[in-house]
Amino acid sequence: MATDKLKQIKSICNIARSELKKRPFDTKRDQARTLAFINDIDRILATLDRRAVKKYYGYTNDLPPELPAEEQKEINEKGIDIARETLNRRRNR
């Protein structure tokens, strides 16, 4: 619920910032002060938003189990032999 309110305040800040770009104040000093105030609010909301929302990622092991070194060596040698044969066939066309 608190994050919804923070999002609403942030959207109001964005709207106010865009409206100031469309219709600026008469004096640059007032416009700068107002933009600084809005940016300060936005910066505070950014720090609060990170603290309020905690994300937890579950760990899953998607890697296959490791094979013994000799089996892996045989698989690698077969793959290398297939690649060599393919290259030789292409070269000898």
Note whether residue 25 is domain-resident: yes
| Whole-number pLDDT of residue 83 | 93
Q: Taking the chain (93 residues) in consecutive chunks of 10 residues, what is each chunk's mean pLDDT?
A: 74 85 85 87 74 62 74 90 91 79
**Which is nearest to 5 in space by CA: 37, 44, 45?**
45
- Total structural domains within the chain: 1
In 14-77, the DSSP E strands lie at none
| Whole-number pLDDT of residue 80 | 94
Note whether residue 71 is domain-resident: no
Note whether residue 89 is domain-resident: no
Note whether residue 48 is domain-resident: yes
Note whether residue 87 is domain-resident: no
| Whole-number pLDDT of residue 79 | 93
- For residues 13 and 60, give the distance between their C-alpha atoms in angstroms, rounded to a whole number: 40
Note whether residue 61 is domain-resident: no
Note whether residue 11 is domain-resident: yes
Parent domain of 16: 2-52
